[in-house]
Amino acid sequence: MTKIILLITAIALFTLVPTAAFAHPGGPGSPVGPPGGAFWANDVEYESAVTPAHVPNKGPFDAFYVFPDCATCAPVSESAQGDTDYNGGRWAVIQAFGIESQLTNADDVVASATSLVDTGHRFVCPLIKKR
């Protein structure tokens, strides 16, 4: 029984960790609803709502770069709506190490990162262009 509880806890933590990049601070005036936040694609800022679910690694996904070395950097996507290679909001979380300031497009992320590590986490969320 203890092993099952530990396994469920580990799966829950693994599933929720990538959503921390989007989490709004809790407290008075905080938005209600699923975690969400800003991210960049092709030098355009987007918003999204993230569902805390892990998607099986089947089919195509777009890279969704997060920055472990930059606490204030918003994630960057390699693709967005209107791109011919856009996969409909299916994301593969990639850690881009060595980046300490905000970048706004995937080409700059790939060129600037000291290493890129696929976390194995996949998720689905919509893109909403910021106005």
Helix (H, G, I), strand (E, B) or coil at 76: strand
Provide the pLDDT for residue 109.
98
Give the number of other Cβ atoms within 10 Å of residue 55's Cβ: 15
Q: What is the pLDDT along the chain (131 residues), one digit of tens a residue?
A: 443 333 333 334 333 444 444 443 333 443 444 446 888 999 999 988 766 667 888 889 999 999 999 999 999 999 998 899 999 889 999 999 999 999 999 999 999 999 999 999 898 887 888 76
Q: What residue ranges in 23-114 does DSSP mark as E strands?
A: 36-41, 44-49, 62-66, 76-77, 90-97
Provide the pLDDT for residue 129.
80
- Which CA distances in Å does 34 have to 16, 37, 75, 90, 119? 12, 10, 17, 17, 22
> Structure pTM?
0.72
Distance CA 96, CA 92 (A): 12
Structural domain boundaries, residue 58: 2-129
Domains in the chain, number: 1
Task: For residue 75, give the nearest of 57, 62, 88, 58 by alpha carbon.
Answer: 62
